[in-house]
Amino acid sequence: MQVIHAAEGDTVERTGQPLFIGQVWGRALAAAENSADYALNVVQFAAGARTRMHAHSSDQLLFVVSGIGEAGTPDAVYRIASGDTVLVRAGEAHWHGAGDTGSPMAHLSITRVGSETTIL
């Protein structure tokens, strides 16, 4: 068993990375070095920030831990808030973040270790 304390790990600014639009920060909570199955990250989006349209090679779960955000596909946009969960199927084109809600938003992102992300 491993306990990962809230004060452990580094929060890294991801602003400027190709996947993100606006100010974004992330912290890995579980990765290949300590889980054979899951990649778990907490991602924080400033108001207006989000991902570009992308897809993953595995399913992705997003669990909103604070704020108000948006998640979308080419056909729809959904408002999401603290306590909401988004299930994105492998290969599904989507984006997510604080979007145009006027609020920052943070979510947990859970994917399979080794999942590949393709920006569309």
Asked if residue 5 belongs to a domain, the reply is no
Please give the tally of structural domains in the chain: 1
Closest CA to 14 of 22, 25, 5, 6: 25
- Would residue 1 count as lying in a domain? no
Output the domain CATH number for residue 20.
Answer: 2.60.120.10
Domain containing residue 109: 12-119
The mean of the pLDDT values for the chain is: 95
Domain assignment present for 85? yes
Q: Do residues 46 and 26 touch, judged by C-beta distance below 8 A?
A: no
Query: Hey, how many other C-beta atoms are within 10 angstroms of the C-beta on 60?
Result: 23
User: Does the pLDDT of residue 32 top 80, yes or no?
Assistant: no
Is residue 5 pLDDT above 90, yes or no? no
pLDDT (mean) for 66-71: 98
> In terms of pTM, does the model score above 0.75?
yes
Predicted confidence band of residue 2 (pLDDT cuts 50, 70, 90): confident
Per-residue pLDDT tens digits for 76-117: 999 999 999 999 999 999 999 999 999 999 999 999 999 999
Sign of CA dihedral 9, 21, 76, 81: positive
Q: DSSP code of 10?
A: -
Range 33-61 average pLDDT:
96
Let me know if residue 4 belongs to a domain.
Answer: no
pLDDT digits (tens, 9 = 90+) for 49-59: 999 999 999 99
The angle subtended at Cα 68 by Cα 66 and Cα 72, nearest 5°, is 120
